[in-house]
Amino acid sequence: MKVLIADSLHADGIKIFEEQGFQLEIHKSISAAELAKAIKGVDGLVIRSATTVTNELLDQADVLKVVGRAGAGLDNVDIPAATAHKVAVMNTPGQNSNAAAELAMAHIFSLSRNLTKANSTMRAGRWEKKNLQGREVKGKTLGILGLGNIGRILAELATGVKMRAIGLDPYLTPVQIKERGVEPVSFDELLERSDFISIHVPKSKETANLFNAATMAKMKKGAYLINCARGGIVNEEDLCDAVLGGHLAGAALDVFDTEPLPANARILQVDDIVCTPHLGADTFESQINVAIAVAKQMSEYLKTGYNEFVVNR
């Protein structure tokens, strides 16, 4: 059987496929047109965030059995179309959760102590100590939207530095939220009480544009907003207005409506908004973890027809 790796994958994952006897076609990146040609005769397709699996691509796949995402997010896969084509879709949940949680925590520290602004002003030859007074996170309230693997780990990190964690997750009961060391609250309470809000939910019809002018106006004055989840959950124009207008003290985004983010994007012109290029899962350790996981899971599925992480069973 043949496996096509459409995005960069760590060598440890490639080695597992080889040891399992699969024929491999490996790309660090591939265009949609090239992939449509290459998908012929392929049993398994490995992707990360750069490759999109559409209905049109699936129409070209004559023997495809499984698409494996080396990571958690599946918004780049048309899952209903895959189901209609009898193609299993799987991801590797939990393998990069620590990396994403640590990045969110890093943004909290960076915002509270003006680290990016301090670095840029010093590189410009300015010593602006008096203008860069920060805030301590101890005793502050962190609101976490989404308490899956990433949100749970972030809550642990936050309580470790003596922050107060409150949160909301529609898939968890109040008891389950409390078991994660988090006080369960409503969405409005999350907005009103949090000094920092960190988003850890998938993009869906319910969460798209969730943080807009109206909801950001309900946030505590001087609060910070962090999004390391998915672009489109935060309205970027409204965020710029909220920060420039002084209602929010700042924000940090790792994900955007359009990626790569255009160089002339307004959000890059706002000093108190920190932008990073979708680094959430991009650590050495997490890339090994997701590569090994997707290789093991896809190998099992292609040889036995079963794996617990298939999402469209």
Positions marked active-site: 230, 259, 278
Give strand pairing partners of 44.
3, 66
Q: Which long-range contacts (CB under 8 A, 24 or more apart) does 186-190 make?
A: 187/145, 188/218, 190/143, 190/145, 190/166
Query: Would you say 88 and 301 are in contact if contact means Cβ atoms under 8 Å apart?
Result: yes
| DSSP assignment string, 35-88 | HHHHTTT-SEEEE-SS--B-HHHHHH-SS--EEEESSS--TTB-HHHHHHTT-E
Please tell me the distance from the alpha carbon of residue 246 to that of residue 58, in angstroms, as a whole number.
48
Q: Is 68 left (phi over 0), alpha (psi -120 to 50) or beta?
A: beta
Classified as helix, coil or strand, 28 is coil
Which tokens is 240 given?
């710029």
Of how many residues is the chain composed?
313
